[in-house]
């Protein structure tokens, strides 16, 4: 396996070509109005919308419970959670208040003492940071919980926005000089940092440890934003673009002082999130945003959720990934365990265009290749399959298209043109069915994409990119 800096090309190729169907995930709630989830060591905190008010729910991953939190419903602008504490901004009309709630003690206290509008609160360890608006611009307020000490970060008539915190650093976007600059502050040495200074638009800044991630617009792309009439949709996904706009995912390692572009494809990638092992983002390859996961150790990209819904607001951490699947005014909240793949004896699932199908025999792995029953797969996709026992040849027909292969040969034909499969098709001994590698489905049909998700042991097939 190549080292990180030499793997960017591989990531680019996968991001450009991989489209798949949804994988199995635990649905914490259906047809609700979740706004955001923050994962914690013990589970997670979810902000829910109900009419004009908002409230919190708690997911306990140990026992699977998902219950309301005993905080009154109110107008909450943003929140964050760390260990057993929640910080949130409560709007009071002309001003906002910062509150902290102790989940174990069930107590709430106010953190700030100003009467200004506040937004985008973040917390890590003993520190809380938020945007505070005064004099027509946004400043950052860094607050230390134990001492109450505060530090203000303000620019010269420039907004300081999108703060993110780790154990060692505060990072944010400084809107100075007419463009967005990523800046940082070392919480220990108090050293100021300039991390990324160019004219490209930047958004969705996140940090984990010494690594920072964000979405940055590709030079030469862009469009006019048109606000959605659906306020719930607007908050979770954002304004629609009238023209082509392509954002790439970038990462900066503070310790190594190195910036790397992780993606460079023809599709739009936004809302990145980061953990110790994974990076996830939303990719709009088919119109709606879908969720993709990058393993930072192997540099392998896995489609986590691809459907006709809008997969938005991903969260990642503590061995889990969560996201909201939005359809109009309602949405589902999903969470997926990212633990190592199940045992090799676990059944492999088959998903086609978002639906799970039974197959006999089931797909299986041989010599690091996933093999699937050809007749079952192609009949699901609308092909007519025939078998010639004398020549051990399988022929498929759909409209004017024809495919043909022979058991024991790596050469197959699509409309008379030969191509080479990565492994030979074989006969499943118990059922007598012809088994083919999953890559063959894409090579033979030309209109479908196929992917293997080793986290959930699922073969995912979807029509047309």
Of 217 and 228, the one with more pLDDT? 217
- Residue 433 within any structural domain of the chain: yes
Kindly state the tokens that stand for 128.
């809380």
Closest residue by Cα to residue 416 from 401, 394, 399, 398: 401
Average pLDDT over residues 75-98: 95
Alpha carbon distance 430, 277 (integer Å): 40
Alpha carbon distance 24, 303 (integer Å): 11
Kindly state the tokens that stand for 33.
């109005």
Label residue 345 by pLDDT band (50, 70, 90): low
- Residue 184 within any structural domain of the chain: yes
Q: Domain boundary residue among 289, 315, 337?
A: 337
pLDDT given at position 240: 53
Answer whether 428's CB lies under 8 Å from 363's CB: no
Residues 6+ apart with CB under 8 A from 297: 277
322 and 368 inside one domain: no
Partner residues linked to 226 by β-bridges: 240
- Residue 343 within any structural domain of the chain: no
CA 352, distance to chain mean position in Å, is 21
Average pLDDT over residues 382-386: 93
Residue corresponding to tokens 């862009």: 222
- Residue 262 within any structural domain of the chain: yes
Look up the CATH number of the domain holding residue 410: 3.30.457.10
Answer whether 254's CB lies under 8 Å from 193's CB: yes
Average pLDDT over residues 154-175: 92
Q: Domain boundary residue among 337, 358, 384?
A: 337
96 and 165 inside one domain: yes
Answer whether 131's CB lies under 8 Å from 112's CB: no
Label residue 461 by pLDDT band (50, 70, 90): confident
Q: Domain boundary residue among 290, 313, 337?
A: 337
Residue corresponding to tokens 């999953």: 438
Label residue 340 by pLDDT band (50, 70, 90): low
Answer whether 208's CB lies under 8 Å from 279's CB: no
318 and 383 inside one domain: no
Alpha carbon distance 82, 109 (integer Å): 16
pLDDT given at position 104: 93
SS3 content of the chain, % helix, strand, coil (to 5): 5, 55, 40
- Residue 367 within any structural domain of the chain: yes
259 and 367 inside one domain: no
Average pLDDT over residues 294-315: 89
pTM above 0.95, yes or no: no
26 and 149 inside one domain: yes
Alpha carbon distance 421, 440 (integer Å): 6
Alpha carbon distance 452, 465 (integer Å): 16
274 and 303 inside one domain: yes
Q: What whole-number percentage of the chain has pLDDT above 70? A: 89
Look up the CATH number of the domain holding residue 27: 2.120.10.30
311 and 368 inside one domain: no
97 and 216 inside one domain: yes
Residue corresponding to tokens 């034909």: 413
Domain count for the chain, please give it: 2
Label residue 239 by pLDDT band (50, 70, 90): low
Q: Chain-wide mean pLDDT for the chain?
A: 86
pLDDT digits over 166-220, tens only? 999 999 999 977 889 999 999 999 999 999 999 999 999 999 999 999 999 988 6
Strands 458-463, 448-453: pairing is antiparallel
Alpha carbon distance 375, 248 (integer Å): 39
119-128, 182-191, 431-440: least confidently modelled range: 431-440
295 and 179 inside one domain: yes
Kindly state the tokens that stand for 314.
């991903």
Residues 6+ apart with CB under 8 A from 9: none
Where are the strands (E) in 354-410, listed by range? 355-357, 364-366, 369-373, 384-388, 393-398, 401-406
Alpha carbon distance 328, 264 (integer Å): 30
Domain span holding position 277: 4-337
In the chain, the largest separation of any two C-alpha atoms, in whole Å, equals: 85
402 and 321 inside one domain: no
Label residue 20 by pLDDT band (50, 70, 90): very low
Read off φ and ψ for residue 231, nearest 5 degrees.
-65, -35
Burial tier of 110 (Cβ tally within 10 Å: 0-12, 13-18, 19+): exposed
22 and 111 inside one domain: yes
Residues 6+ apart with CB under 8 A from 51: none
pLDDT digits over 243-280, tens only? 567 899 999 999 999 999 999 888 889 999 999 999 99
- Residue 342 within any structural domain of the chain: no
Q: Which alpha helices (H) appear in 121-214, and where do they start and end?
A: none
101 and 204 inside one domain: yes
- Residue 344 within any structural domain of the chain: no
- Residue 447 within any structural domain of the chain: yes
235 CB neighbour count, 10 Å cutoff: 14
């Amino acid at each position: 396996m190549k080292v990180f800096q030499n793997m960017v090309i591989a990531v680019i190729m996968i991001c450009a070509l991989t489209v798949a169907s949804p994988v199995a995930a635990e649905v914490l709630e259906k047809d609700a109005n979740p706004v955001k989830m923050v994962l914690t060591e013990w589970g997670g905190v979810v902000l829910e919308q109900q009419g004009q008010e908002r409230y919190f729910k708690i997911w306990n991953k140990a026992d699977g419970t998902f219950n309301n939190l005993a905080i009154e419903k109110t107008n909450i602008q943003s929140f964050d959670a760390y260990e057993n504490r929640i910080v949130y901004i409560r709007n009071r009309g002309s001003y906002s208040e910062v509150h902290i709630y102790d989940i174990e003690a069930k107590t709430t206290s106010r953190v700030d003492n100003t009467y200004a509008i506040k937004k985008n609160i973040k917390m890590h360890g003993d520190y809380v940071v938020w945007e505070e608006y005064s004099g027509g611009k946004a400043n950052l307020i860094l607050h230390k919980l134990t001492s109450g000490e505060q530090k203000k970060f303000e620019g010269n008539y420039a907004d300081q926005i999108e703060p993110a915190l780790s154990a060692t650093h505060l990072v944010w976007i400084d809107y100075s000089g007419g463009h967005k600059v990523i800046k940082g502050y070392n919480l220990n040495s108090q050293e100021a940092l300039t991390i990324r200074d160019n004219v490209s638009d930047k958004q969705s800044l996140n940090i984990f440890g010494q690594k920072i991630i964000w979405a940055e617009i590709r030079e030469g792309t862009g469009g006019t934003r048109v606000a959605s009439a659906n306020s719930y949709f607007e908050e979770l996904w954002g304004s629609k673009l009238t023209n082509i706009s392509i954002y790439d995912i970038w990462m900066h390692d503070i310790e190594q002082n190195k910036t790397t572009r992780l993606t460079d494809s023809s599709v739009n990638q936004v809302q990145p999130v980061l953990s110790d092992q994974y990076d996830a983002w939303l990719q709009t390859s088919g119109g709606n945003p879908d969720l993709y996961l990058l393993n930072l150790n192997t540099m392998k990209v896995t489609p986590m959720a691809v459907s006709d819904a809008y997969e938005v607001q991903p969260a990642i951490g503590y061995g889990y990934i969560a996201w909201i699947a939005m359809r109009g005014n309602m949405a589902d909240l999903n969470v997926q365990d990212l633990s190592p793949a199940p045992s090799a004896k676990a059944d492999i699932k088959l998903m086609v265009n978002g639906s799970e199908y039974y197959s006999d025999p089931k797909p299986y792995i041989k010599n690091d290749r996933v093999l699937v029953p050809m007749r079952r797969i192609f009949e699901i996709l609308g092909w007519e399959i025939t078998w010639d026992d004398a020549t051990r040849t399988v022929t498929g027909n759909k409209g004017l298209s024809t495919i043909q292969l022979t058991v024991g040969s790596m050469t197959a034909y699509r409309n008379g043109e030969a191509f080479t499969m990565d492994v030979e098709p074989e006969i499943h001994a118990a059922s007598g069915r012809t088994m083919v590698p999953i890559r063959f489905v894409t090579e033979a049909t030309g209109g479908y994409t196929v992917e293997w998700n080793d986290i959930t042991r699922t073969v995912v097939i979807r029509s047309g990119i």
